[in-house]
Structure 1
Amino acid sequence: MNTEEKPSLYHAKRELVAAQRAIERMSEAQSVEDLEDEWKVFLTAIEKCWIKVERSCQHVRNKFQPWQGRYASERRKDPLLKYLKHARNSDHHSIQENMDKKAASSSMYVEGGPGVTHIEHLEIKDGKVLEYRGNKPLVIENLPNRVELIPVKDGSKWYNPPKQHKGTKLAWPAPLDVAQLGLEYYKQFVEAAEEEFFERV
């Protein structure tokens, strides 16, 4: 098959397939090193997907660039998308680690902070909450032994692992969960670009 015969956004879709395969291998990883290797493959594939959509839309650049602006803005602002972009850059231009093992942990907190949160009464015995009264709910988190993404440095700035994506909170920044959410976003981006700029066959 030569280039002229390839369907629209063929090259971008190939990168989505590469990202999906990396996620499948991540789910079967037997060590943190194996998980990290596939995570890096995933990061590269989704960034290449973004670039290949841009290249494929050069013939409609005047329409494509303003349309792409919404997605570019989300990539700058959404914690998960921003982290993926800078984690990829960090991997390509530095020798940093990007994930770490974390032991099981328990924590409790009340959202809001000073001036917003008021705890009237909190009684704990043997690590259990006996009684709580306050103006906001008490959140108790019990996390298992796990692998978490860690902050990455891109250029002179640090980027923290995402705690949420498009308004949905993550239990913790698990590489597999973050990758799956990222892949879903880029699949939707490719589908939307195809619908907007190419006739579906």
Structure 2
Amino acid sequence: MDKRAVAKARTRLALAERALNELGQCQHAGEFADIWYRVLVAIKNTYNVLNKGAQASPQSRQWFGAKKEERRKDPLLQYLYQARDADEHGIDAITAMTPGKIEFVSANAGESHVVEMTHNLLGTGGSFVVKSADGKPVHVRAQLPMMKLSTVVGRGGVKFPPPVIHKGKIFEPNTPYHVAKLAIAHWWEVIDQAEALS
């Protein structure tokens, strides 16, 4: 393994990590899509640099061949590869906004049927307060608006749904942030393995 590739892969993956940290600060869907694209490209660049560096010896070529097969078979790694390709070469969105909702669950025995609501939802840090009008507990379910991964279509019309399995294990949530965090952790491990070969 070429040591220069290891060093460059570290800088590329650090870019993905910095972009991932920016995802939580997004103010709108367009900004999220731009940052998500940077995450995907930086992960793909990490892969490409390691592939190039692995050409330095038969041992590292064989090692990277196994990593290439792992990426092909692992649902999370393959999804990110296909999502980057779909975003780069296609026109369909690879993420979608899920609107927020507040649900008042049917009151059980001992729970309030009457509530008072106040809100200040303008700008960041808004609030929504629900209080019982009769002092009994209120059962409310709230979901904040959030971005979710979309099914992407690869070459030949093959569909790749958002992943729920990585390294043979089911994971949740499968939000863009969590999926990218798992992938970045995986590629840090791969870089460490590559360094051991150099």
TM-score when normalising by structure 1: 0.71
Change (3 A) 1:59 1:148: same
Code of the residue aligned with 2:52 in structure 1: it is: R
Q: Percent identity?
A: 27
1:12-161 residue pairs with structure 2 within 5 A?
Answer: 12-60=9-57, 62-103=58-99, 126=106, 144-145=143-144, 146-155=146-155, 156-161=157-162
Contact 2:54–2:64, Cα closer than 8 Å, also in 1: no
- 1:10 corresponds, among 7, 12, 27, to 7
Distance 1:8 1:68 in 2: 13
Distance 1:73 1:170 in 2: 24
Query: 1:68-119: per-residue Cα shift (whole Å, max 9, x none)?
Result: 23322221121111100000111111111011122468xxxxxxxxxxxxxx
Q: Could you say which structure has the larger radius of gyration?
A: 2
1:188-199 residue pairs with structure 2 within 5 A?
Answer: 188-195=189-196, 197-198=197-198
Change (3 A) 1:127 1:150: farther
Change (3 A) 1:143 1:158: farther
Code of the residue aligned with 2:184 in structure 1: it is: L
Code of the residue aligned with 1:180 in structure 2: it is: K
What's the C-alpha RMSD, in Å, of the aligned pairs?
2.5
Distance 1:28 1:11 in 2: 27
For 2:121, the equivalent position in structure 1 comes to: none
For 1:169, the equivalent position in structure 2 comes to: 171
Distance 1:162 1:54 in 2: 24
Distance 1:51 1:99 in 2: 24
Is the partner of 2:92 in helix, strand or coil? coil
For 2:118, the equivalent position in structure 1 comes to: none
What count of residue pairs does the alignment treat as equivalent? 160
1:56 offset after TM fit, Å?
1.8
Any stretches of 5+ residues in structure 2 without a counterpart? 109-140
Code of the residue aligned with 2:149 in structure 1: it is: L
Any stretches of 5+ residues in structure 1 without a counterpart? 1-5, 106-125, 129-141
1:40 offset after TM fit, Å?
0.4
Distance 2:149 2:14 in 1: 23
Change (3 A) 1:63 1:34: same
Code of the residue aligned with 1:152 in structure 2: it is: V
Distance 2:164 2:4 in 1: 37
1:8 offset after TM fit, Å?
5.8
Contact 1:12–1:49, Cα closer than 8 Å, also in 2: yes
Distance 1:97 1:185 in 2: 25
Is the partner of 1:9 in helix, strand or coil? helix
Distance 2:92 2:29 in 1: 14
Deviating above 6 A after TM superposition, structure 1's stretches of 4 or more consecutive aligned residues are: none
Distance 2:5 2:90 in 1: 35
TM-score when normalising by structure 2: 0.72
